[in-house]
Amino acid sequence: MSDNGGAPAGLAKQDFQSDQETRWCPGCGDYAILATVQGLMPELGVPPERIVFVSGIGCAGRFVYYMDTYGMHGIHGRAPALATGIATARPDLSVWVVVGDGDALSIGGNHLIHALRRNVAIKILLFNNQIYGLTKGQYSPTSEEGKVTKSTPFGSEDHPFNAAALALGAEATFVARTVDVERKHTAEVLRAAATHRGSAFVEIYQNCNVFNDGAFDAVRGKGGAPNQIRLEHGEPIRFGAERERGLVRSADGHLEIAEVAEVGEAALAVHDAHRSDPSHAFALAHLSERPTGPTPIGVLRAVERQVYGAGRNRALSEAHADAALSDVDGLLRSGDSWSVE
């Protein structure tokens, strides 16, 4: 037996694979993400019956059917709200949320930001393909300006959301970014998210090869693309095919790209994911407004804050210790009450 909540030893990937046929478009990035998640789950030492996956509407919504755990396929945008209820009522469970950029950032925007600001003990995986895939290719809240789609034949006029920056703006305690085909990196990020106390938000760049193919080619590729900036806590921020480029902090505090040979490694900014002030992580999230230029991936921020519900649970424990509240009748008659004649 494992010492992790009584989880059985010897869990394997197949213990988390359901008997449902996996159905996404051939070549979809969701396949890689699913395989990574199923491969990671045994490492966590949590048995399937103590794990819940909640999804919304969209291609990502199918995810719950392929995980042999408890699951709920919610309505559009409401996955974080449903997961909040589960995590609050059952803090002993490991609760995961799988959403798409359209699902989470349009009708689900309020549910997402409030779950993050409350620091609810849920892990949110946002599959960002910058398009509405399930409904066949309309522009989404993360589509770039000028994007020509079936719903924007003259090009989108909307300024897109930066998903990681939005999460940081909501004071999320854990924010990370990864890429669908980078299975080892994705597993590392999800492992960190799983062990984080409170809300963890992970944006995953996910290629939609049917309706938005190649959107992340600048940072997506076998072995890592030159524009991919891998963040490591406590390490100087370097990138490039030969790690010849890096980030430096300018006189006004902004992060700028520089050639290491010109500025020297000592001048490079050092990544601090545990910094309480989110400005460093926010600057990283905004280094490139679109994933066509140098783009940081990895854990941008990981800080500690009281988990939602912890204070309430302590108060309930204290109340239950009170003799007057030890039974239902005493509880109902406590505090403000009145009689109706």
Please provide the DSSP assignment of 197-259 as one string: SS-EEEEEE---TTTSTTTTTTT-STT--TTEEE--TTSB-EESTTS-EEEEE-TTS-EEEEE
Output the pLDDT for position 313. 63
Place of tokens 């950032």: 105
Interval 16-53: pLDDT, tens = 999 999 999 999 999 999 999 999 999 999 999 999 99
Match 């407004």 to its residue by tokens: 289
Give the domain ranges of the chain.
Answer: 13-221
Topology (CATH level 3) of domain 13-221: Rossmann fold (3.40.50)
How many residues in the chain?
341
Instruction: Evaluate whether 8 touches 1 at the Cβ level (below 8 Å).
Output: yes
Query: Can you tell me the distance from the alpha carbon of 236 to that of 132, in angstroms, rounded to the nearest whole number?
Result: 37
Residues in a beta bridge with 302:
174
pLDDT 10s digits, 154-165: 999 999 999 999
* Sign, CA torsion 75/61/138/103: positive
| Per-residue model confidence (pLDDT) at position 6 | 46
Query: Which pLDDT belongs to residue 5?
Result: 47
Spatial CA neighbour of 257 closest among 224, 218, 287 = 287
pLDDT in tens, 144-191: 999 999 999 999 999 999 999 999 999 999 999 999 999 999 999 999
Using the structure block, give the residue that is written with the tokens 């993360």: 142
Q: Which two tokens stand for residue 112?
A: 């997402």
Query: Over the chain, what is the mean pLDDT?
Result: 92
Residue the block writes with tokens 């230029």: 293
State percent of the chain over pLDDT 70.
91
Other C-beta atoms closer than 10 Å to the C-beta of 217 total: 13
Tokens of 108: 């689900």
Higher-pLDDT residue of 182, 311 = 182
Contacts of 190 (CB under 8 A, 6+ apart): 36, 37, 40, 123, 125, 178, 202
The whole model's pTM is what? 0.90
| Cα–Cα–Cα angle for 35, 167, 127, rounded to 5 degrees | 25
Residue 326 pLDDT > 70, yes or no?
Answer: no
Q: Locate 120 and state its tokens.
A: 């609810």
